[in-house]
């Protein structure tokens, strides 16, 4: 019986066609492309984060399909849909360490018991890596944004349409209208 070597961060640099992927449990896990509505929501969050970064001259807004290299027992990387990072500029390499704020926008395949388990475990990994706040954005739920904090990871703050969503304590003073996550027809 032969055993397969665990994937490394170098393997992530060589993912074919620059596909979105993460290293979880020693394997490169490819992620499906994002659909229109979830992509729009992630883009809106990124744009708002970029404006915040520029106006406060702090941190860096990070859009979809960027990798964060972390060192956890079961995970070596994250690729959130949007994030805010306060570490050094990585140049051409992946970001080193976790973002202080990470956004995961649910796509078509992010529903059901197995998906809920994956999402819960990934959120725990974010916190173990040092992320302060993780958003679970669900455009099909009345509870559009569930904001989980590393201080109280089991009790999310809920933000609905008509409200302003926040990411405290990671980004004090930053907010985004929940309604802006939905594209107008």
pLDDT tens, position by position, 72-119: 999 999 999 999 999 999 999 999 999 999 999 999 888 999 999 999
Q: What is the pLDDT of residue 171?
A: 97
How far apart are the C-alpha atoms of 148 and 44, rounded to whole Å? Answer: 20
Q: Residue 2: inside a domain, yes or no?
A: no
pLDDT in tens, 25-66: 777 766 777 788 999 999 999 999 999 999 999 999 999 989
Question: What percent of the chain has a predicted confidence (pLDDT) above 70?
Answer: 93
Distance in angstroms (rounded) separating the CA atoms of residues 12 and 29 = 9
Task: Say what the pLDDT of residue 165 is.
Answer: 98
pLDDT over 90 at 13, yes or no: no
Instruction: State the burial class of residue 133 (Cβ atoms within 10 Å of its Cβ: 0-12, 13-18, 19+).
Output: buried
Residue bearing the bigger pLDDT, 17 or 25: 25
pLDDT at residue 17 tops 70: no
pLDDT at 121 over 60: yes
Question: If you average pLDDT over every residue of the chain, what do you get?
Answer: 91
Q: Which residues pair with 72 in a beta bridge?
A: 75
Domain of residue 79: give its range: 34-181
**CATH number of the domain encompassing residue 75:** 3.90.1570.10
Q: 10 or 145, which is more confident?
A: 145
Q: Is residue 12 part of a domain?
A: no
Average pLDDT for residues 123-134, to the nearest whole number?
A: 98
In a domain, 121, yes or no: yes
What total of structural domains would you count in the chain?
1
Helix (H, G, I), strand (E, B) or coil at 162: coil
**Residue 3 in domain:** no
Q: Is residue 115 situated within a structural domain? A: yes
pLDDT band (50, 70, 90) for residue 3: low
What secondary structure does DSSP assign to 4-61, as a single string? Answer: PPPP-HHHHHT-GGG--EEEETTEEEE-PPP-HHHHHHHHHHHHHHHHHHHHHT-SEE
Query: Is 75 a member of any domain?
Result: yes
Residue 28 lies in a domain: no
Place 12 in a pLDDT band, splitting at 50, 70 and 90.
Answer: confident
Q: What is the 3-state secondary structure (H, E, C) of 103-122?
A: EEECCCCCCCHHHHHHHHHH
Q: Is residue 137 part of a domain?
A: yes
């Amino acid at each position: 019986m032969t055993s397969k070597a665990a994937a490394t961060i170098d393997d992530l640099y060589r993912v074919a066609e620059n596909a979105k992927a993460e290293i979880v449990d020693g394997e490169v896990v490819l992620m499906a492309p994002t659909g229109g509505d979830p992509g729009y929501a992630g883009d809106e969050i990124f744009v708002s984060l970029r404006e915040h970064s520029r106006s406060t001259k702090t941190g860096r807004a990070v859009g979809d399909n960027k990798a964060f290299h972390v060192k956890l027992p079961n995970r070596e990387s994250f690729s959130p849909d949007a994030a805010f990072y306060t570490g050094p500029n990585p140049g051409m390499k992946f970001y080193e360490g976790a973002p202080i704020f990470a956004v995961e926008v649910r796509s078509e395949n992010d529903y059901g018991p197995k998906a809920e388990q994956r999402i819960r475990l990934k959120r725990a990994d974010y916190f173990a890596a040092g992320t302060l706040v993780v958003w679970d954005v669900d455009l099909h739920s009345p509870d559009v944004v569930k904001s989980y904090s590393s201080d109280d990871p089991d009790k999310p703050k809920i933000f609905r349409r008509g409200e302003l969503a926040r990411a405290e304590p990671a980004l004090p003073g930053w907010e985004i209208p929940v309604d802006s996550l939905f594209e107008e027809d």
